[in-house]
Structure 1
Amino acid sequence: MKTRILTTINEIEKHHQVKIVYACESGSRAWGFPSKDSDYDVRFIYVHKKDHYLSIDPVGVGKKRDVIELPIDDLLDMSGWELTKALKLFRKSNPPLLEWMHSPIVYYTAFSTMERMKQLEKDIFAPHSCMYHYLNMTRKNYREHLQRDQVKLKKYFYALRPVLASKWIEQFNEFPPLEFQTLLENMIPEGKVKSEIERLLKRKMAGDELDKEAPISLINEFLHEEIIRLEAYAKTMNCALPDPTEKLDTFFRETLDEVWQG
């Protein structure tokens, strides 16, 4: 599959006249719990030629799209963001973008772009913003999918992963790792809740993720209590951060020079 992904990257660069600087896995494979038939969710960041940016209409306006999306097939879902779009989201400490940056599965990297973005992250990461993002995910999935008479097994992980990510931010004040197993090992003490989650994880990876069954009260109670506790904690977090726009503007210009030199 990596060969196919790298071939597709080369085709995208030629067809769209861009340079891709980074491509990674973003879905269940990056989270560490793919099922037997999981597809590949590849996300990438790309850069246009300099002249594309030097016009009266900025990228993202009108016909100047800031995304590239390939048709989805049964095995590969591949799409990317243009660099200025990515940097605007980076400025907001956008969790999906940060997840790309922290993906444990990197298919392609070129130039110094991603290394430099990771160096800038310490000055841009907004714990409160990411905390609210993950808590909203947990709350939404908990209310919409786990409060029914019959629950799909995989829906538990769409609530558990973000709540564990929130707990990581609370404890370490840094962006959480993507791997579910790492979050589980560090955020849940040994006991009944952890054992039940580990049992569910084995079933999901064995292919039982679409099975429906009665709600698991132990996990639902854990989620309910953590949502309430973490929401209260989030309200106490310091939201003040310096504006990183000037640094990102400089980074963008230097990236253009590096990517398109000569």
Structure 2
Amino acid sequence: MIKSWLKEMEAEYRIEILFASETGSRAWGGATVHSDYDVRFIYKHHDVRSYLSLRKAQETMDFPAPYDAQGWDIYKAFHLLQKSNPGLCEWAFSPILYHDCQNFSSKLRRFVTESYSLISLFHHYIHLMDRNLKDIRGKAFTEKRQKQFIQAVRAFLLAKAIILEQKVPVMALYSSFSSSFPKDCTIVSFYQQLMEAKQSGELVSYADIEDAIFMMEQERPLLLELSYGLSKGKSIENELNQWIWELLHL
């Protein structure tokens, strides 16, 4: 269904979709029967003149239905790739690919792993954790806030994986984290408990939530201190320019 919808979008908007993946809970194992499809894609315009016109080529496409879908033009995607955009990293390594034109994903993944700023990626996940915890703290614990808490714990574990592995946390991005941390890691066990509760429509106890928040906030200062030694990434402007020219057949 999604593949045929992507073909319809190509015809309607006169674009070529180069890459499309799933990035929501369906990709990282937390989906229920009510979960949306979160489709993300990268495209180029068929008419090369659209990139050489006074009116800028459409850089983004958003569709609330029938799927939660968002697309980025190659220029926008590559600018964000050069800036170590965390969202693009998650698009690239999704285990669910809907479309992969001429192995586009392999090149995208290589550029992410070779050039991304680990310190920027780390701070993204730490701040994502902070924002979600702020929304939860002191409020009634509902199904919606449990989803936010899952995001907070996932962000914490990804930030910690970056510190431990000193690289883009490819294996941890779409996993239960059991392979990235010791078997007795309390936060990993609690994350897995949260995922099971979400899938069964149950809520974990708020006492357990408070314990987990305490543990994460206790460890946060140490992670921040260790983050100062992380790589700042490297420029790949020339390589990306070459890739764009190849894609546009220039």
- Normalised to the residue count of structure 1, the TM-score between the two structures is 0.84
Unaligned runs of 5+ in 2: none
Give, in angstroms, the shift of residue 247 of structure 1. Answer: 1.2
Q: Secondary structure at the match of 2:43?
A: strand
Tell me the equivalent position of 1:109: 100
Stretches of 4+ aligned residues off by more than 3 angstroms:
191-197, 211-215
Give, in angstroms, the shift of residue 195 of structure 1. Answer: 3.7
Tell me the equivalent position of 2:49: 51
Residue 83 (structure 2) aligned to one of 80, 87, 92: 92
Aligned residues: 244
Structure 2 CA distance for partners of 1:127 and 1:194, relative to 1, 3 Å? closer
Partners of 1:238 and 1:185 lie apart in 2 by 23
CA RMSD of aligned residues (A): 2.2
Residue 25 (structure 1) aligned to one of 22, 25, 32: 22
Partners of 1:120 and 1:194 lie apart in 2 by 29
Identity of aligned residues (%): 27
Residue 162 (structure 1) aligned to one of 151, 155, 167: 155
Partners of 1:82 and 1:235 lie apart in 2 by 33
Partners of 1:156 and 1:206 lie apart in 2 by 16
Residue 138 (structure 2) aligned to one of 115, 139, 148: 148
Residue 179 (structure 1) aligned to one of 174, 177, 180: 174
Residue-by-residue CA offset, 1:167-200 (whole Å, 9 max, x unaligned):
111111222232241x244235415544433322
Tell me the equivalent position of 2:224: 231
- Contact kept, 8 Å, 1:193 with 1:219, in 2: the verdict is yes
Q: Secondary structure at the match of 1:187?
A: coil
Structure 2 CA distance for partners of 1:193 and 1:119, relative to 1, 3 Å? closer
Give, in angstroms, the shift of residue 110 of structure 1. Answer: 1.1
Structure 2 CA distance for partners of 1:242 and 1:214, relative to 1, 3 Å? closer
- Normalised to the residue count of structure 2, the TM-score between the two structures is 0.88
Residue 12 (structure 1) aligned to one of 9, 14, 17: 9
